[in-house]
Amino acid sequence: MENEKKIAVIGGGSWATALVKILCNNVSSVNWYMRNEAAVDHILKFRHNPKYLQSVEFDLDKINVSTDLQETIRISDIVIIATPSAFLVKLFEGFSNELIEGKSVFSAVKGIIPEYNAIPARFIHKTFGTPYDNIGIICGPCHAEEVALERLSYLTIASQEDEIAEEMAELLSCRYIKTTVSDDLFGTEISAVLKNVYSIASGICSGLGYGDNFQSVLISNAIQEIENLIDEMSPIHRDVKSSAYLGDLLVTAYSKFSRNRTFGFMIGKGYSVMTAQLEMDMIAEGYYATKSVMKIASKFDVEMPIVEAVNNVLYEKISPVIEMRILSDRLS
């Protein structure tokens, strides 16, 4: 039986597209906000997103696609934000916060808000006044491209409030999606931010010709850095070897679908940051996260050599060859 709750999905990219596809298995109505009016018109006419996951065909009897953000949220019970983190502040400028009062808000952003060096949960709390108990995160390990292909995938739903996590987990469960719940809202979200930075590092090393032996050491050190930072920021019991942390890191660092790894690979091959961004024509969240993570690590006095190396390549314009050679002597 389909759930009668109305879900809003905010964003027009691959993750938003994948979430709409998944939700249509279990709910009677999905309200989908997209900024691009031409994309909305295309979906209404041809049932496909013109730019992302074009193979997905939508059931328009279940989807209300709109460019009206406030109306999309007003008529919904649950809000899922799946917009790149770099655009969130601008997206919600002038937004009427009373429209979101009392609603559960989930982040599927997987990035950091660069203007505030804040994870999406904190941005949602501060911007809308939403209590943390009404905030959740949807994280992997999962690539939108494999969801489009209906390959078996896993999602972790995290919230401090078990009830809303379990409700969202049920809404997202289907034949090809398995879900688990967690109460580690902050740890899973911080880890989801960090794994993008490490995926850039993995891509840079691959582009430079480092092999699997080195990559295994790089990622082993990366999960240690993740654990060190999230334990300082949110000191609760957690097992970073579980899929929400290590699994999400692995799939992003190694997969051909990882845009952050692809971005790093291009940097390793000699592309400039700007050229790589233009060539990809997609957002690599790790680029924006790197500088913010450096500031957070400094605030909490946590050493993060891999993040530091990526920052030096992306922002200090140090040669990837030199920086990764230095990093290799710091890893163990």
Residue pLDDT, tens place only, 248-267: 999 999 988 898 999 999 99
Which residues, including other chains, have CB under 8 Å from residue 123's CB and lie 6 or more apart? 88, 113, 116
Is the distance from CB of 204 to CB of 137 less than 8 angstroms?
A: no
Residue 273: name the closest of 195, 203, 192 by CA. Answer: 203
Question: What amino acid occupies position 251?
Answer: V
* Rounded mean pLDDT, 276-297: 87
Same fold, 3-183 and 191-328: no
Q: Facing residues of 156 across strands?
A: 139, 180
Catalytic residue among 45, 90, 195, 241: 195
Residue 280 has pLDDT above 90, yes or no: no
Q: Is 195 a catalytic residue?
A: yes
* Rounded mean pLDDT, 101-114: 91
Residue 32 has pLDDT above 90, yes or no: yes
Residue keyed to tokens 């209404």: 44
CA count, 13 A, side-chain hemisphere, 34: 26
The reply to whether the predicted model has a pTM over 0.85 is yes
Name the percent of the chain lying above pLDDT 70. Answer: 99
CATH of 191-328, one of 3.40.50.300, 1.10.3720.10, 1.10.1040.10, 3.30.465.10: 1.10.1040.10
DSSP 160: S
pLDDT in tens, 66-78: 999 999 999 999 9
> Residue 1 has what pLDDT?
53
Which residues, including other chains, have CB under 8 Å from residue 119's CB and lie 6 or more apart? 112, 113, 186, 189, 190, 193
> Residue 2 has what pLDDT?
63
User: Residue 120 — pLDDT band, cuts 50, 70, 90?
Assistant: very high
Spans of all domains in the chain: 3-183, 191-328
Highest CATH level, class, for 3-183? alpha beta
